[in-house]
Amino acid sequence: MEERKFCQCCGMPLDRLQDAGTETDGTPSADYCRYCYQNGGFTAPDATMDDIIAFNLKFNAENGHPMGTQEEAEKMMRSWFPTLKRWKEV
């Protein structure tokens, strides 16, 4: 079974090719989603990990808590996001 891929910025599943961001030459990004990365750069280059977590928590609340309660979702993101490529060295 193939390992599931996730955006290395926001954690969004990259299950479909159309969910991938794009490199400068238009090819799909192997690491980032279309919301975080377009044309070879981050769509919010100054965003911090806390900004992305806050955005995801807003999405979680607006969409019926697919990531669990706000407290559970935040705890999960705070433990997982530092391991993602964009935040690893921050």
| Predicted TM-score (pTM) of this structure | 0.90
- Residue 2: pLDDT band (50, 70, 90) is low
What does the alpha-carbon distance between residue 60 and residue 90 come to, in Å, rounded to a whole number? Answer: 24
DSSP state of 69: S
Please check the confidence at residue 90 and state whether its pLDDT lies above 80. Answer: no
What does the alpha-carbon distance between residue 28 and residue 64 come to, in Å, rounded to a whole number? Answer: 30
The amino acid that residue 79 corresponds to is S
* CA pseudo-torsion sign 61, 80, 83, 29: negative
3-state class of 72 per DSSP?
helix
Express each pLDDT in 48-71 by its tens digit: 999 999 999 999 999 999 999 999
